[in-house]
Chains A and B, each alone.
Chain A
Amino acid sequence: LAKTTQPISMDSYEGQEVNITCSHNNIATNDYITWYQQFPSQGPRFIIQGYKTKVTNEVASLFIPADRKSSTLSLPRVSLSDTAVYYCLVGDLFSGGYNKLIFGAGTRLAVHP
């Protein structure tokens, strides 16, 4: 079971780039890394997923070093609306099952004007 560690909270200001790092030292060969975003009073929403190197979409970038023991979610030029909780999940649903996919406490990002 790949345990993840991420900061409990972060603060930023509008227009800045925010990087949230997740540590997953015992990631397994078939595990994927997935990030979700949760706004207050809403369910989590999928942001990005990757296996290795770099993945970019319209919302964020995900950087994964060669050893895959950590990953960094990068949010370019944040706005107030990016204030949310961000969850890092690591797992192989096919062989490990959904019980192995753990939403921890996440990182609470606060963006200030």
Chain B
Amino acid sequence: DVKVTQSSRYLVKRTGEKVFLECVQDMDHENMFWYRQDPGLGLRLIYFSYDVKMKEKGDIPEGYSVSREKKERFSLILESASTNQTSMYLCASSLRGDNTDTQYFGPGTRLTVL
């Protein structure tokens, strides 16, 4: 089974802090994703990466950056956390880039910014 792990289940930070969310997958997947999930809005794609050191903006990249130095690890960075970034953050990975690709999700990190 594919395993996607996220560094924390719960995180509390203060406004203005720099926040790192880490994600690791163990199945040698090419693609990795960061989403945020808010009530009533579903999941929204922040960034994704299709290879090491490669990244693409999703729907809502503002206020976020990402890093993929190794194939198995994809980090989401909040340069200066704000209260409107309080949310559930979900990492995912997928193997293929064709139109039957399916994503494997981690358990999520619930981030609260005070």
Chain B contact residues, CB within 8 Å of chain A: 4, 31, 33, 35, 40-45, 48, 56, 58-59, 90-92, 97-108
Contacts and interface: CB of A to CB of B under 8 A. Distances in A.
Residue of A91, A93, A101 most packed against chain B (CB within 10 A): A93
B42 A104 contact: yes
B104 A46 contact: yes
A105 B41 contact: yes
Contacts of B107: 41-43
Contact of A49 (B31, B48, B102): B102
Interface string A43-76: 1111001000000000000000000000000000
B99 A94 contact: yes
Nearest to A103: B43
Q: Which residue, of B4, B35, B42, B48, has the highest number of chain A Cβ atoms within 10 A?
A: B42
A98 B33 contact: yes
B93 to A, nearest CB: 11
Contacts of A98: 31, 33, 45, 48, 56, 58
A43 B41 contact: no
Contact of A93 (B58, B92, B97, B108): B97
